[in-house]
Amino acid sequence: MIAFSAGLSLIAAPVLASCEGCLCPGDPCNLCPLPAMENDPPKANEPEICARIRARVPPTSAQPGSNEYFPSLDQSIAVCVNEGGDVIRNRLRNNPEFPSRYYCKPPAVIKKQ
């Protein structure tokens, strides 16, 4: 039984090491935290949708979970969706690169042929 467990963990190790999706190192999807926080400056290569969200929903200083936080979160989610973005929930917030609970993924640019 122990040999089976050890073999299974060796098979699973490469899967765990490779990251797929948007919440991977280097921010491959160029995500915007929702809502924007006052103490976090905009990224240098920030997508336009992030700037539009911040223009319509001012950054907040409210702590996640507080009564003041939720209206800002709701409004920023609505703007993200209305602008064509997708909302991504971050269930694993132990990554310092992605501390927010929710992110807006900018819409994909579709090239016309």
Residue pLDDT, tens place only, 36-81: 999 988 888 899 999 999 999 999 999 988 999 999 999 999 999 9
- Listed residue (70, 29, 37) closest to 53, CA to CA: 37
pLDDT at position 11 is: 45
pLDDT at position 16 is: 45
pLDDT at position 110 is: 61
pLDDT at position 96 is: 86
Domain-embedded: residue 30: yes
pLDDT at position 2 is: 54
Domain-embedded: residue 113: no
Contact 30, 22 (CB under 8 A): no
Average pLDDT value over all residues in the chain:
85
What is the domain count for the chain?
1
pTM, rounded to two decimals: 0.78
DSSP, res 110: P
pLDDT at position 1 is: 53
pLDDT at position 17 is: 58
Domain-embedded: residue 110: no
Spatial distance between the Cα atoms of 86 and 65, rounded to a whole number of angstroms: 22
Domain-embedded: residue 111: no
Domain-embedded: residue 72: yes
Q: What is the mean pLDDT of residues 82-103?
A: 91
Domain-embedded: residue 20: yes
Structural domain range at position 74: 2-105
